Amino acid sequence: MPEPQPRPTRPRALTRKLTNAAISLQKTLTGGADEHGDISTWNPALGEAVQEVTSLTAAPASSSTRNGEQMELDPRKNGEMGWRKYVKYFTPSWFTVTMGTGIVSSLLNQFPYGARWLYWLSVVVFCLNIGLYAFFLFVSVVQFVMFPQVWITLPERPNQAFFLSAIPMSLGTIVNMMVFVCVPAWGEWVIYLAWGLWMADAALCLICALFLPFLLVIGRQEETPLSTITALQMFPVIGTVVASATAALVANVLPNNQQALVTVLAGYILLGVGLPTAIFILIMYWQRLTIHKLPSREVIVSCFVPLGPFGMGSFSIMKLGAVAMKVFPQTKSIHPLAGDLAYNFGVLFSLIMWGFTLLWLFLAVATIYHCKSFPFNMGWWGFTFPIGTFALACNTLAKDIPSEFFRVIGSMVSVSVFLLWLLVAYVTLRDLITGGKKLFKTPTRQVQASIRACD
């Protein structure tokens, strides 16, 4: 009896083209459902057909070829079992956990009605944030070493690539707490450590702001439907706004006035990169909302993202102005009155941005109330950081004006952010203990096919 002939393998280039064609067909027919949505909710029959096409075009997960012969692969070596699976499908969105934890530590430390126990609680959260950040960096390095194809294909997944900016933003929250806590406790050497970390943070944020949006322009998809636009596209540029705020905090403690001057000027440049760009993206996002209405429930929490650049921008421009008022007259490189002008303009412009942030806070809360319920995923960590930046702006306005109104509002929002952080942390831990089924979902077949094509 003749032996069955092995099934001929399909070239990887053809596999990739067929997979991309299936994805394009899916987006065209659904009006742009992306990897966060479920096509079956649009049309169950169409969803089943697309899954069948992508599964047929994808290379089999447990097989490969050598010299034209079919052979089975060990799924453990392929990274599909045990801890390898979690490492392989670890995404940069996990750094939103450290972003939220970092902003909570800053709010506790700068709480308008301060207390000693709040200070030590902020130190505990700060240490927790450092531990989480170091662990996530370690997992990312292990992933890069063991599964480089995941990083190679990241530009093909812009919704995940945008979260790369969360890495330097998380570092910025750590540097902020170093200024608040470590500098008073340990002295000058920590100042220069924080300054060096800020330089690295600013460089990474600038790279993300310049290159990550370009990925959307040169992506393999022929077009990006307006219906797929979400507020997550602001993520790459928010980092420069955060870095500008960190620049102001670091410059305020630098003993050398020339170094402080350079840092302040760099902070204004970073703010100029991020804030106007965020406004442009917000215009596009508002057009998407008016035409295609609310995004899917899976990404509905992204409606809080617009608070980030404007809340942090409000905080940043006040802090930069306060340092400029001190540094400009001492360095004599800029007219002494420029410092007072920068500070006064910063306070007024901060009030304008605070009002604009208030509008988007109302829209975000109203959107969540309208949706009633939405599934738990990593997007829930998108609550804490944006609202936290709004609280920071309130607390800073309360000090600089001064105003009891902003002091009360800032306290209420800060407490809300802390309670929200506890809630999201509890739900996250509960899911991790039960296997992480909601946080470590297997990627879509399109993503798996793209990754395997690079193996």
For 395: left if phi > 0, alpha if psi spans -120 to 50, otherwise beta; the answer is alpha
Supply the pTM of this predicted model.
0.80
Question: Hey, which residues does 66 pair with through a beta bridge?
Answer: 69
CA 257 to each of CA 318, 325, 330: distance values in angstroms, whole numbers, following the listed order: 19, 12, 7
Comparing 60 with 187, the larger pLDDT belongs to 187
- How does pLDDT run across 219-233, given as a tens digit for each residue? 655 567 777 788 888
- How does pLDDT run across 37-54, given as a tens digit for each residue? 444 444 444 455 545 544
Residue with tokens 């008016």: 290
Could you tell me if 218 and 283 are in contact, meaning their C-beta atoms sit under 8 angstroms apart? no
CA angle 33, 423, 235 (to 5 degrees): 40
What are the respective helix, strand and coil percentages of the chain, to the nearest 5? 75, 0, 20
- How does pLDDT run across 105-130, given as a tens digit for each residue? 999 999 999 889 999 999 999 999 99
CA 141 to each of CA 111, 150, 159, 266, 309: distance values in angstroms, whole numbers, following the listed order: 36, 12, 20, 30, 29
| Structural domains in the chain plus CATH codes | 12-79 (no CATH), 90-439 (1.50.10.150)
Using CA atoms in the order 246, 248, 254, 260, what is the torsion angle rounded to 10 degrees?
Answer: 120
Whether omega for the bond prior to residue 402 falls within 30 degrees of 0, making it cis, is: yes
Could you tell me if 253 and 179 are in contact, meaning their C-beta atoms sit under 8 angstroms apart? yes
What distance lies between CA 67 and its chain's CA centroid? 44
Average pLDDT over residues 199-209: 95
Task: Give me the phi and psi of 438, to 5 degrees please.
Answer: -90, -25
- How does pLDDT run across 140-180, given as a tens digit for each residue? 999 989 888 888 877 777 778 889 999 999 999 999 999 99
User: From CA 57, how far away is CA 118, in angstroms rounded?
Assistant: 56
**Residue burial 145-161, b: 16+ Cβ < 10 Å; e: rest:** eebebbeebbbbbbbbb
> Residue 386: CB partners within 8 Å, gap ≥ 6?
304, 305, 306, 307, 308, 311
Element (H, E) at 82: helix 82-88
Of 134-138, 316-320, 338-342, 347-351, where does mean pLDDT reach its minimum? Answer: 338-342
